[in-house]
A = this chain, B = another copy of it.
Amino acid sequence: MQLGLVGLGRMGGNMRERLRRAGHEVIGYDPNPEKSDVPGLADMVAKLTMPRVIWIMVPQQFTEDTIDKLVEVLHEGDLIIDGGNSKFTDDKPRAERLAGHGIGYLDVGVSGGVWGLANGYGLMVGGAKEDVAKAQPIFDALKPEGEFGFSHAGPVGAGHYAKMVHNGIEYGLMHAYAEGYELLEASEYITDVPAVIKSWRSGTVIRSWLLDLLDLQLDDDPKLDTLRGYAEDTGEGRWTVDEAVRLAVPLNVIAASLFARFASRQEDSPTMKAVAALRNQFGGHAVKKEIG
């Protein structure tokens, strides 16, 4: 089928390629003319037969603006899919606005990163059943082979919500592996840490794709010497913890993983300065040893 695809960066570009390999006709637009198939958004839309399906794959700060521009050139019966990392609370207002123009809306959480071109993308979709049906051939081409990798998670918002929880889990998984790695490194019992990590990749309970990635990194960098212990966080981890607070869900592991990222970016810890201040005070100014 035909698809208009807005945003041809690392994710969008690979998705265009995967869709074309599957035989779909993709008209891609990107502000960068070297990547773009057409000079402008309107040109992209003009090349598509109604009813059109447009997939937006832009950084979340540009999504609203892109939708504003699309509304001007789309018609009743068209469908917009946001595959970017929008916050789930943005989806319902957006869908209602588009419904006012007779335009459908789906939100899709997309996972898989740079590996998605080859492996397929995990897709979680929110929206109305009939809208999902319209785009199903696209979803089928983007998702991996086999029975997994696609879900219709619920009404509008559910796709981004499911992706948010996916990323929250991801934080926790990464941190669990990372803590285990640190303990292996710290212990005098283990002499070949990379070998242990590698052996875990098959037969064990903890085998996973993330573990495969850790092993790949250790192949090149067995002590992780090329890296600093520093990690950004994207919105999803924070939103996950906010949702846990809203819904009264005890989310100890995921929150601890998020907080560790926060701490990794601090030059010095004000919390630990205050702890040091207290130890200083009750122990006597001149001394370092705790006596309390």
Contact = CB atoms under 8 A, between A and B. Distances in A.
A281 B183 contact: no
Contact of A179 (B162, B213, B271): B271
Contact of A277 (B146, B155, B203, B214): B214
Contacts of A22: none
B269 A264 contact: yes
A148 to B, nearest CB: 4
A48 interface: no
A240 B183 contact: yes
A61 to B, nearest CB: 12
A206 interface: yes
Interface string A138-168: 0000011111111111110110011001111
Interface residues of A, number: 142
B282 A213 contact: yes
A128 interface: no
A46 interface: no
Contacts of A176: 169, 171-173, 175-176, 253-254, 257
Given A113-B292, A208-B209, A251-B183, A273 B224 contact: yes
A198 interface: yes
A100 interface: no
Nearest to A143: B203
A289 interface: yes
A-B pairs with lowest CB-CB distance, top 7:
A172-B176, A208-B208, A229-B272, A151-B199, A122-B204, A178-B274, A122-B203
20 contacts: A115-B282, A145-B202, A148-B199, A148-B203, A151-B192, A165-B184, A170-B205, A172-B172, A175-B176, A178-B271, A178-B275, A179-B251, A213-B277, A213-B278, A229-B276, A238-B246, A250-B259, A253-B256, A260-B271, A264-B272
